[in-house]
């Protein structure tokens, strides 16, 4: 174990004095909520090993930047979540390098499993570094749940592929007919039911998953096979919130009592499915695509976010590396998350063509 990784494990839970962040922190409707707090969310770094000590530079730079900026937040976040896809192809080199970078975080850090971390060795090395793949914890009156939502059918995982590398590559591809839809699996569903059974219906619940716990677009696995079952387990709660990575773009949605919000990647942005291959998309109508001059620009839609927990809801402040910051906050009047500065079509950066 490297010194940095030892440090990562040791400093989990420790806080340090933070300097002033060189960007304005938008505080929304805090009113008299004494339990309001913030946490930072970094996701989808996709650290990719080339050879020796070489890694794809842009992608490890993206993670290094997010860690540095999170360390400068003022007020300090109570904790940081890393939302999965730390590695690109799940190798020890990639996971080690990612863990080294994350070890610079000065806050307690919770980690979520992504499919790029998992499908080489089925999460073994990731677990040695970061611990359990699903768990829950309570913080200032909020119940948080972390799920491994990137599992799939046993036959696909265990019987189909001659090598672990091929299995990893097949799951890493988009529009790949050899892929398989993401699942949480029956064991985790049972655990989730039991875990939620111990929580009062008035307690705000926040679920961190890598895949959306809703069905958006199957070709890119913006999808969780048991979405309806998970949603029905969350149904009794007055305030249920899901924050997910994987999609590398801003999405938000409300399904009955559950607010859904995605987080940005530090590696690269995906275009919206509807703009790509004329794919059928179930993106909710209230989603407002961010201003993006070019959906393939590798920096105009990468970044990280801090989250205000406000009256049991999650307000996401997206810090985009090379684009205007955005805030998607829960609107208590309309009962759904909304972009606080709606950008009408006419106000958006016109798309560019490169072909």
Residue numbers at the binding site for Fe ion (CB under 5 A): 44, 85, 114-115, 246
Shortest spacing between CB 247 and Fe ion, in angstroms: 8
Identify the H or E element spanning 130: helix 124-130
Cβ-based nearer residue to Fe ion, 149 or 254: 149
Cβ-based nearer residue to Fe ion, 220 or 237: 220
- The Cα–Cα gap between 249 and 265 comes to 7
Cβ-based nearer residue to Fe ion, 178 or 232: 178
Secondary structure E strands in 106-214: 109-111, 135-139, 142-146, 205-209
The answer for residues whose C-beta is within 8 angstroms of residue 216's C-beta and 6 or more apart is: 222, 223, 247, 251, 273, 281, 282, 283
- The Cα–Cα gap between 320 and 322 comes to 6
CA dihedral 276→281→323→264, nearest 10 degrees, is -110
Shortest spacing between CB 318 and Fe ion, in angstroms: 16
Q: SS3 for 273?
A: helix
Shortest spacing between CB 313 and Fe ion, in angstroms: 25
Shortest spacing between CB 197 and Fe ion, in angstroms: 29
Shortest spacing between CB 214 and Fe ion, in angstroms: 15
Cβ-based nearer residue to Fe ion, 181 or 236: 181
Shortest spacing between CB 270 and Fe ion, in angstroms: 8
Cβ-based nearer residue to Fe ion, 196 or 267: 267
- The Cα–Cα gap between 335 and 256 comes to 9
Do the beta carbons of residue 91 and residue 51 sit within 8 Å? no
Cβ-based nearer residue to Fe ion, 106 or 116: 116
């Amino acid at each position: 174990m490297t010194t940095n990784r030892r440090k990562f494990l040791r400093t989990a839970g420790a806080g340090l004095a933070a300097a002033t962040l060189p960007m304005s922190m938008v505080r929304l409707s805090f009113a008299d909520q004494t339990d309001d707090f913030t946490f930072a969310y970094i996701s989808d770094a996709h650290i990719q090993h080339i050879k020796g000590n070489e890694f794809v530079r842009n992608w490890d730079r993206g993670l290094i930047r997010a860690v540095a900026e999170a360390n400068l937040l003022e007020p300090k976040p109570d904790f940081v979540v890393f939302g999965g896809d730390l590695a690109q192809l799940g190798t020890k080199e990639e996971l080690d390098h990612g863990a080294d970078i994350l070890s610079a975080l000065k806050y307690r850090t919770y980690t979520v499993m992504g499919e790029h971390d998992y499908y080489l060795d089925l999460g073994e090395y990731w677990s040695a570094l970061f611990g359990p793949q699903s768990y829950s914890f309570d913080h200032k009156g909020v119940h948080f749940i972390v799920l491994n939502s990137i599992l799939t059918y046993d036959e696909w995982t265990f019987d189909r592929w001659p090598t672990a590398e091929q299995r990893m590559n097949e799951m890493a591809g988009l529009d790949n007919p050899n892929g398989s839809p993401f699942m949480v699996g029956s064991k985790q569903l049972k655990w989730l039911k039991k875990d939620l059974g111990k929580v009062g219906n008035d307690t705000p619940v926040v679920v961190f998953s890598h895949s959306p716990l809703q069905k958006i677009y199957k070709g890119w696995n913006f999808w969780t096979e048991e979405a309806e079952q998970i949603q029905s387990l969350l149904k009794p709660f007055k305030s249920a919130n899901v924050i997910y990575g994987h999609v590398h773009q801003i999405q938000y949605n409300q399904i009955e009592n559950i607010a859904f919000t995605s987080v940005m990647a530090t590696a690269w942005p995906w275009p919206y499915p509807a703009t790509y291959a004329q794919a059928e998309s179930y993106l909710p109508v209230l989603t407002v695509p961010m201003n993006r001059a070019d959906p393939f620009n590798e920096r105009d839609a990468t970044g990280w976010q801090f989250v205000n927990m406000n009256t049991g809801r999650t307000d996401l402040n997206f810090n985009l590396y090379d684009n205007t910051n955005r805030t998607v906050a829960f609107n208590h009047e309309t009962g759904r998350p909304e972009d606080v500065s709606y950008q009408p079509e006419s106000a958006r950066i016109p798309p560019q063509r490169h072909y």
